Homo-oligomer: A and B are copies of this chain.
Amino acid sequence: MNKIKVYRKYRGLTQIELAKQVGVARQTINLIENNKYNPSLSLCIALAKALESDLNTLFWEEIDNEGQNT
């Protein structure tokens, strides 16, 4: 399950409520949660703030650099 969805549910918010908080349409939240696109940086930041999180937590896939040096 998508991270935004997990964090939104953790905060007890509906898509409509989160959309309102960050100032976009509900469909936009829905598309992001279903990995159907590529939000703008400003929207990512608004989401991170609304979910009391940060960019790395929500949007950064840590590249695993360990175990490559053989």
Contacts and interface: CB of A to CB of B under 8 A. Distances in A.
Interface string A53-65: 0111001100100
A40 interface: yes
Given A54-B56, A55-B56, A56-B56, 8 more contacts: A38-B41, A38-B42, A41-B59, A44-B44, A45-B60, A54-B60, A55-B59, A55-B60
18 contacts: A38-B41, A39-B40, A40-B40, A41-B41, A41-B44, A41-B59, A44-B44, A45-B59, A45-B60, A48-B60, A54-B56, A54-B60, A55-B55, A55-B56, A55-B59, A55-B60, A56-B56, A56-B60
Interface of A is mostly: helix
